[in-house]
Structure 1
């Protein structure tokens, strides 16, 4: 059998098979996909600049000081003062950032035909997201500032721990309490397709009791699936677009990829690795913030780092750090996506299904980036790399593999 597969692989042109897929996206569709994704590079920069500008305005006009002073009139304890300061900061920041949010989240998405919600429905979802932030955010900030007051030199380390606890708790609760605020989740219907997914999961000792479908078609037509939660809340979810727009082979291939995330423990390891990057950012802020406050604090009405009025100072510095750390965050995710791709191909054994699914993501991801471009900006492997990996797996594992020419217009299927 090995000799037969080796002979088949030698006669199968991986590059030609890859090109057969990639060439199905040409002309205006390719240009639109590239323009949308490349525009996102600038959004990272401009989004950071706008965030820094908002923080500077809040400091320049002493709004943070006013928030703190109001908190001191309403609360006697430091925790309450910080909580109210953070709450008002988040509200004012959201209002000042609203034009940018409308442009990036609504107008631009509509321009590229990637959003199906009307403005009212879109704004409603934004308000839900803001409400969640206003419930959770001020509590996290108040706890971190309590840590700063108790450990002024090592607060960044303890603050990283606090952040990790909240990330874990939110990650565990989000599938049950937060995600249903935006979409309806229902158990996947019984039938041959679910049976095939369950059998694939059981072959790798992956629990498949909770497979959910959510109605993301009301927001957009992108295909998607994910593994979310920790411990008792962990679940595998796929959106209705994946069920309605793709073939069984594509669905099984995508679900094999998601099973890979579960089997390889990516949820926990990704959280820990990203927490390390966040910890580095807090460490740098712990060095830079006191120096910045020493120079400008009197003008802003900020006493020191432990002063709740310093929230915009820390936010400004973290915004710059997170922009510079974009490649770090992206590579953490992309490495795990590569691992899940490899697992999914072995689990599902649907190389052409995975290649077609990867091509569908070209609706909003640049298909053939340069190596440096992919390294810096891509959270997932590019479509080109995913299709080539699929075709290489096909050459190595399928007896008598053939080059498949996707039908014309299959990327337009609704």
Structure 2
């Protein structure tokens, strides 16, 4: 019976992967609508033939890896339950220590290590393709260092989260999810507060923007937007990637506006100011705080659904998995599987909200800079640097895109330019 369920799960995974391959490479239409042919939104007007070919190839590969990776993780969690491996990890942990907290840490280490090993091929394949298409400039040793940092940062974070969850399960049999939700609120805010000053520097070097003339222009924009900013930070990313990026991170006094050095090297001042105005739009519209509020609401619903499904699933399959009850640490793969599926199912909604906020930030940047031409050039340069599709397939857009498509962003800038000229 166990082998039959395992085989069904593996077959389902391969059928899904085949379907996504056929969709992305043979069915999905990424062509620009006829009405935009020859406009600034048409990639043929700002990419050469080789760049057009590479952007389609790389985007399709990257999208396929995304859709294969998530179900692959689900398959791992399911099989580790089904074959009793999770129960074996728990037995080893109990033999090592009589303390529940230490048992949890030991169990989590073995589960994290198994997950790291099993998912490593996907991570390495993604790295190889990014190197092949010259998106990544990172040498293997540096990339591997980041992977190991990811492992230990993830393990430390998960250790705190999992300990709290299973302690609440043991203390509150039926309402553990509510206690976990209440505790998750200050924890999430705390993590956002320390992210820019504790975690991010583990991966890269951050320092104040070296171009003081440009910093003065950026801070002038910030002053115009009533943003209490004293510094703009740049981060050394050129040793890892050719892609361009800028972002706002953190909350309160630890919030930072960050520019990748690749962005500074490849964009002119007007384009950089447009990007900065976009990031300031997030601050002015309080998107970070709205995002926290939305996350809190989603966590409430997600934990409630997870609790119901875990009780139902463990009660029905626990004997087969050798998992005695929901509060046993060996049930963790079930928790991770359910929450991962729920997050994926919710991603069309969360991505839609994110795209709306990004659209608002684009609009703010256009109004603040009054330079739509810089906006168009910025979006075209971002497309070229990341080998992105201007008009991605529908499923890719709703499941992957937290930003509007480049077609939508360039058209918005062009429409704004037309409105300005008419006025």
- Shared fold (TM-score greater than 0.5)? yes
Measure the CA separation in 2 of the matches of 1:69 and 1:15. Answer: 63
**Equivalent position to 1:367, from 390, 397, 406:** 390
Using the TM superposition, name which of 201-210 and 189-198 deviates more.
189-198
Query: Can you give the 5+ residue segments of structure 2 that lack an aligned partner in the other structure?
Result: 1-34
The residue correspondences of 1:144-155 to structure 2 (distance < 5 A) are: 144-155=165-176
- CA offsets 1:217-255 (integer angstroms, 9 cap, x no match): 110011111111111111111011111101111000000
* Aligned 8 A contact 2:43 2:390 in 1: no
Give secondary structure in 2 for the equivalent of 1:381.
coil
Corresponding residue for residue 177 of structure 2: 156
Work out the number of aligned pairs and report it.
Answer: 387
Give secondary structure in 2 for the equivalent of 1:217.
coil
Measure the CA separation in 2 of the matches of 1:234 and 1:87. Answer: 32
Corresponding residue for residue 412 of structure 1: none
Measure the CA separation in 2 of the matches of 1:129 and 1:47. Answer: 17
* Aligned 8 A contact 1:345 1:354 in 2: yes
* Aligned 8 A contact 2:366 2:413 in 1: yes
Corresponding residue for residue 380 of structure 1: 403
Measure the CA separation in 2 of the matches of 1:398 and 1:370. Answer: 33
* Displaced runs of 4 or more, over 6 A: 13-16
**Equivalent position to 2:232, from 211, 225, 236:** 211
1:382 deviates by: 0.9
Matched, 1:340 2:361: yes
The residue correspondences of 1:192-211 to structure 2 (distance < 5 A) are: 192-211=213-232
Corresponding residue for residue 296 of structure 1: 317
1:158 deviates by: 2.8
1:15 deviates by: 8.9
Corresponding residue for residue 94 of structure 2: 72
Corresponding residue for residue 406 of structure 1: none
- CA offsets 1:81-100 (integer angstroms, 9 cap, x no match): 22322232112211222122
1:54 deviates by: 1.7
Give secondary structure in 2 for the equivalent of 1:207.
coil
Question: Which structure's relative contact order is higher, taking Cα pairs within 8 Å and 6+ residues apart?
Answer: 1
Measure the CA separation in 2 of the matches of 1:159 and 1:43. Answer: 33
* Aligned 8 A contact 2:84 2:321 in 1: yes
Measure the CA separation in 2 of the matches of 1:177 and 1:251. Answer: 26
Structure-2 change in CA distance of 1:315 and 1:134 (3 Å): same
1:357 deviates by: 1.1
* Aligned 8 A contact 2:36 2:42 in 1: no
Corresponding residue for residue 86 of structure 1: 108
**Equivalent position to 2:243, from 211, 219, 222:** 222
- CA offsets 1:263-301 (integer angstroms, 9 cap, x no match): 211112113213433433322221222222123211222
Query: Can you give the 5+ residue segments of structure 1 that lack an aligned partner in the other structure?
Result: 1-12, 401-414
Measure the CA separation in 2 of the matches of 1:41 and 1:370. Answer: 10
Q: TM-score, normalised by structure 2?
A: 0.85
Measure the CA separation in 1 of the matches of 2:296 and 2:66. Answer: 20
- CA offsets 1:291-324 (integer angstroms, 9 cap, x no match): 2212321122211111111001111222222222
Q: TM-score, normalised by structure 1?
A: 0.87
1:197 deviates by: 0.8
The residue correspondences of 1:6-45 to structure 2 (distance < 5 A) are: 18-19=40-41, 23-25=45-47, 27-45=49-67
- CA offsets 1:99-158 (integer angstroms, 9 cap, x no match): 222112x11212322111121211111111111112121111110111222223232233
**Equivalent position to 2:135, from 114, 126, 134:** 114
* Aligned 8 A contact 1:368 1:383 in 2: yes
Give secondary structure in 1 for the equivalent of 2:247.
strand
Structure-2 change in CA distance of 1:152 and 1:331 (3 Å): farther
Please give the root-mean-square deviation of Cα atoms over the aligned residues, in Å.
2.3
Corresponding residue for residue 279 of structure 1: 300
Give secondary structure in 1 for the equivalent of 2:179.
helix
- CA offsets 1:376-410 (integer angstroms, 9 cap, x no match): 4311011111111111112222579xxxxxxxxxx
Corresponding residue for residue 403 of structure 1: none
Corresponding residue for residue 9 of structure 2: none
Matched, 1:128 2:164: no
**Equivalent position to 2:414, from 383, 386, 391:** 391
Corresponding residue for residue 289 of structure 2: 268
1:373 deviates by: 5.1
Matched, 1:311 2:336: no
* Aligned 8 A contact 1:79 1:143 in 2: no
Structure-2 change in CA distance of 1:123 and 1:186 (3 Å): same
Measure the CA separation in 1 of the matches of 2:41 and 2:120. Answer: 43
* Aligned 8 A contact 1:277 1:328 in 2: no
Give secondary structure in 2 for the equivalent of 1:186.
strand
